[in-house]
Chains A and B, each alone.
Chain A
Amino acid sequence: TQLLEQSPQFLSIQEGENLTVYCNSSSVFSSLQWYRQEPGEGPVLLVTVVTGGEVKKLKRLTFQFGDARKDSSLHITAAQTGDTGLYLCAGVSPRGGATNKLIFGTGTLLAVQP
């Protein structure tokens, strides 16, 4: 069974602080996606990383894919209240055939206080 463990599970910080969310697995993934989900809504794609060691930036968000393609991190600089939500990492297994189904992490619930 392939598992993606995210840490921390919960994070409450003040506006302006920095934070990092980790997504770890013992399995290799073809690609890894990060989503943010708000209550009552579906996950919204933030980024897809494909190459080991890849770093992508999206405004104040920095995403990194581990060299071995087993782990990833999301760093938010100067968090804002609008960053509040459930952050999910999701990987595509290279052994999954043509399905490309996503294996989701356990989620990190972020609350940014004003």
Chain B
Amino acid sequence: DTGVSQNPRHKITKRGQNVTFRCDPISEHNRLYWYRQTLGQGPEFLTYFQNEAQLEKSRLLSDRFSAERPKGSFSTLEIQRTEQGDSAMYLCASSLGTGFLGSNQPQHFGDGTRLSIL
């Protein structure tokens, strides 16, 4: 399977603990996105990487959240000192293209990591 891969699929943790999720994009894709989706809602944008550079972060991404994409391949999203409100599905997507030429390129999503905070 050459699609977007996310691990783990599910994470259950106690409030206050740190968690880290991993995303492996489609290999030739230079763009990588993180989104968050709560039950019954559409996904909301969190952050964007072009190759290894993090070029945009949403205001939803508080200072407890950090994302990296070393070497422009896989990406990690870490949440420190988790809170109840962090419970959600965290989705990763990748696409190909740069600048305006990339605007019509579809984003391909992984199956997400579902985070539950006890």
Contacts and interface: CB of A to CB of B under 8 A. Distances in A.
- The bracket for how many chain A residues form the interface is 20 to 34
A107 B33 CA distance: 20
A50 interface: yes
A33 B93 CA distance: 14
B56 A42 contact: no
Mostly, the A contact residues are loop
Contact of A107 (B40, B93, B103, B110): B40
A39 B33 CA distance: 21
B107 A45 contact: yes
B111 interface: yes
Interface residues of B, number: 34
A103 B45 contact: yes
Interface of A: 4, 30-31, 33, 35, 40-45, 48, 50, 88, 90, 92, 94, 97-107, 109
Contacts of A44: 109
A48 B95 CA distance: 13
Contact of B103 (A42, A90, A92): A92
In this complex, the member of B35, B103, B109 whose beta carbon has the largest number of chain A beta carbons within 10 angstroms is B103
B41 A106 contact: yes
B106 A107 contact: no
Contacts of A30: 103-104
26 contacts: A4-B42, A30-B103, A33-B106, A35-B109, A40-B111, A41-B112, A42-B91, A42-B110, A43-B91, A45-B107, A90-B42, A92-B104, A94-B103, A97-B56, A98-B100, A98-B102, A100-B31, A100-B95, A100-B97, A101-B45, A102-B43, A102-B93, A104-B35, A104-B43, A106-B41, A107-B40
